[in-house]
Structure 1
């Protein structure tokens, strides 16, 4: 009997040291992930749509894993500050990013000295699209894009609009229209979307670049959404493609991690992300915001990010922009 026990102990030791031994499987080291708090870096201001969605997903993932996903806002420089915090973090799954990937796919081509690019990250899961829109105050005399564009043509260099920061996608999107239609209008950069609305509502801005979700519930009017098709979150608003205007696509938004994060961890994060988007609590927040859930996994999100990067290279080149 003693020999049997010793033999059993030997088998256990060998199996633990060599997973393939005797065909026996052992638990992966990430089975308990996350066993420590995970910092979720949101590259945009607290209180905005991206922050609200990020917090709802972090809570759902915490509940599912019995771990702690804690949101930390690192806004600034059109999302570059937060993206850099993720890119430079140790690739151990304890620092992840959440939000639009625009700082990743745009900044390397528009901002001088950005120390990361599209290959600096792993793309875990897409959760939603941040649909950009041309927005005016509810009391504005402009009721359509035709009205707005006619006014810009009639008053060159006098009208102003706000966007999320120089060379941000909000800036590039309307600059693409300005270039395509040979317009002359003054752009005013802000740190994110939230501060644009008070300036626009006070009359200090003629219009602004916003998002469908960010504009919801505010005394504003959407004149157009950017994309090939109308947004399901704002079906009554025409798309820029529909209006025959130069068009950039909606912003892909989801979870990223530093390049080199172990595949087992990214797989676990993707699993929690997918399940998190299915949770009733998360769906309730997205329903309240009017944002459709557009989940896609690691392979699809990676492909989408690389395609988005290639498209931004072409847009920046066509606009003749140089890194600032």
Structure 2
């Protein structure tokens, strides 16, 4: 599904649509927020804190509805059949910008099928193993995997996620073959790792408490700098791999949303990102605040789709 000039122009038209007044009295009922991950994981915890803070600004509850599975695209898919009235929104992970370009039958067009409202944050990613695993650091794990093709496996939250893509990028750089095991969320991922069903887990920082308790060992993080909570753990770049992966995300609704409603939501969402209770959750998981309004977020989506679709073609990735 190649990126076309028509799509770019269509997305730009949405971003530059003539301003409109918000629907009178919006919102006058609860707003649904589709979170395409399992309860209890990093994204779920962050989004619940965010939605609580946003609801206080909007004067109506913003209610999280989990739709886990399929690498994080089920929230976006659900928006296709929803009214563009601002009462159903979804967290949009970066897999939404990849899966259509990995699919023979794309489930949606990320450039034409959604209204991008507000960008929020990004993740701290890393690779963890059990505390009694034989690998003291990430180079040791990679060396063992290279010496034993196909022997070792790793878990992620799903096919096409940043965790999956980045682990395969690492494999390509180091000529490694290991086995990908997708799960529906960090809770299943951690359970499989602690139970010995998988050798390693690549996931967001929901593993943090288990690392601090000494039950897991953090081998590497994927951000531009070392994590504040884990300053002794190197980044991929420090280990000689020119990769930074933070998988930034935001909130979108169905295509065709009223521009005034979008502005009203964005104003509340920007305030929610900075809310002390939400900021404390970001700090707990080493997640940076990355607020963007509708126009900036829409432009970000356009650039991301161009980059991700090019990367998928280069790597030959298919579902």
Secondary structure at the residue paired with 2:238?
Answer: coil
Comparing 84-93 with 298-307, greater Cα deviation is found at 298-307
Aligned CA distance change for structure 1 residues 73 and 189 (closer, same or farther; 3 Å): same
Shift of 1:217: 0.3
Aligned CA distance change for structure 1 residues 264 and 142 (closer, same or farther; 3 Å): same
TM-score, normalisation: structure 1: 0.84
The within-5 A match list for 1:38-117 is: 38-98=31-91, 100-117=92-109
Aligned CA distance change for structure 1 residues 206 and 47 (closer, same or farther; 3 Å): same
Q: Which residue of 2 aligns with 1:6?
A: none
**In structure 1, distance between residues paired with 2:281 and 2:25:** 28
Q: Does 1:128 align with 2:124?
A: no
Secondary structure at the residue paired with 2:297?
Answer: helix
Q: Which residue of 1 aligns with 2:310?
A: 314
**In structure 1, distance between residues paired with 2:70 and 2:259:** 30
Shift of 1:208: 1.4
The within-5 A match list for 1:248-263 is: 248-263=244-259
Secondary structure at the residue paired with 2:45?
Answer: helix
Aligned CA distance change for structure 1 residues 289 and 320 (closer, same or farther; 3 Å): closer
**In structure 2, distance between residues paired with 1:132 and 1:271:** 29
The within-5 A match list for 1:1-324 is: 28-30=21-23, 32-98=25-91, 100-119=92-111, 120-211=113-204, 213-218=205-210, 219-232=215-228, 234-245=230-241, 247-322=243-318, 324=319
Secondary structure at the residue paired with 1:216?
Answer: helix
Shift of 1:248: 5.0
Which structure would you say has the larger RCO, counting Cα contacts within 8 Å and 6 or more residues apart?
Answer: 2
**In structure 1, distance between residues paired with 2:143 and 2:280:** 40
Equivalences, count: 295
Q: Which runs of 5+ in 2 are unaligned?
A: 1-19
**In structure 2, distance between residues paired with 1:314 and 1:248:** 17
- What does the per-residue CA deviation read over 1:125-152, in whole Å, with 9 as the maximum and x for residues that have no partner? 2211023212212222212111111111
CA RMSD, 1 decimal = 2.0
**In structure 1, distance between residues paired with 2:227 and 2:158:** 23
- What does the per-residue CA deviation read over 1:36-93, in whole Å, with 9 as the maximum and x for residues that have no partner? 2111110111111111111111111111121121111111111122210123321110
Secondary structure at the residue paired with 2:239?
Answer: coil
**In structure 2, distance between residues paired with 1:170 and 1:302:** 24
TM-score, normalisation: structure 2: 0.86
Highest CA radius of gyration, 1 or 2?
A: 1
Aligned CA distance change for structure 1 residues 230 and 304 (closer, same or farther; 3 Å): farther
